[in-house]
Structure 1
């Protein structure tokens, strides 16, 4: 069956995994495909260790495990083993692609994407790539050599021939009306309707720097009448007063599975600058102070750069985040309703809510089904 033959249902293989940054846009795209092409066969290639091992089957998609093959960064035993390990991973991906007679392979980067791209090229199956981060990873830099169908989240991403579509978002975020959902969110988290609300979070594992700074400044925030929703990260607690004489509450939770409601109640967020976080906050029009992770290749700062330049957020250095910074920078901002309204409008104007559909359009075109 050729890619342009419409005599059989469309068959799409999605490849990516490891971190939420790869898995979440993959699942959002799968859901958009299922909505747009209900009879499509959708399969996923992932690793045995990543979040996809749980999230993909939970969402109703079959997962085929491909061996995880990290690219060796320096000479050594891993470099010697790499060609054989990569060959086995490509073989597993090729078998999976052929088993479902794939019309197109869509990669989101990560450990499994490189074998998927090499296998698709060997099988003569069209490739579509989505790069989440401002600075592209090794897998997508390689894959972009094999296809002209390259989509990016950020305009600044350097991949040849790339089209900016934004970040595919799950429906709960894509369709969120913050004002309409706010009453439900306030009830869900036990917060008041008449107070400025600060949302602090550092991802599923939390951010020790944010946790320490905001717990130390909690009394000052509450005294100013600011209520706080602080998602500390799984297994992490903070020592903060829960209430004050003003009646404001400090609600600390390890995580929430209703992140859309957290966005709905917040007037300002303080958070890391992962690509998914930046794009979600922009899409829903929530202003934020981004504190990029101070390790890695600096991609988090790049992720937030365009949104900050557009006026939808601010950026702060990790090293400057302490209780004094919270009092001197965050507290005046979260209580400045006019400035927050201006930032919210700028964020919403910059955000993309239809990236999933734009990516599906590229997929259908590559498969000859446009």
Structure 2
């Protein structure tokens, strides 16, 4: 094999630095936010969307979008999330939450929820809104394990993330919790083989939780009651072990246990957000910064919480990244905002620096991009 001087030159070039921000919930699932958004200062987001190549596309359920980024159509979310559960030791290192000895296909997410009647339907309120105390979690898990030991064993990683380790595999299709929150629960019932059995089990669990003294006390205090569990995240039919996944980036950064589980299976490096280098460091390779604060607020219908998270993300993440791209420390900066209403993305590459006709968006132009109703966006040539 012969060598050319250009090959030596390329061999010594530094590896490019790329960052992708994954911000589910960045698009608020409704309209009418323009006036409120005027009160915020979002220079990082306004610059990334104004100078970048923006796309608004049809929405896709978040779990489906995330699976696609790892080269799959469907994934065992219960097992992956359990794989990523951890607790932090006194020295700051991540330690396993619990032994990962449960059979892989037999783990379901079993998150605590509150079913509440509206004028027309039964609507799901999520674990974040319940705000259960540790003692309450312990009492409810104990009651579930005493009554339903023949089904499997319930575990709680924290107040919001619960699991059921089943004694037998499950072939039923369940809808992810994020797809159901704030919507009529009747539209998202289990489907396929064993669906009737799971509906009966869900009803029995509701009876137990409704009558639990702890929930009676919560009701008397005017608090939401943890009166149901939402099962989801079963392994796809025929899966008996983790299959290798493609990694969308060298390094995944974020605090969700699902992300840590995906990193473990795909071979990507993983860091908690407070343990990673600054997003503006210009570190070589491709890094995924993943943050679900906006999604948590949007799913709970917490508009003020969503605005607060939006301002925090601009200050902590988006402004430093924009400044790093401007200074040339980043060769590529991408933003992805998946949701089932609309998919918003923006891409800044090296050649984008010459797109002089683009500029930072005013808030009036920013607001239409952050609302569920899609707006046409011109695609000027780079």
Pairwise same-fold verdict (TM > 0.5): no
TM-score by length of 2: 0.23
Structure showing greater relative contact order (alpha-carbon pairs closer than 8 Å, 6 or more residues apart): 2
Q: Which has the larger radius of gyration?
A: 2
- The structure where helix makes up a greater share of residues is 1
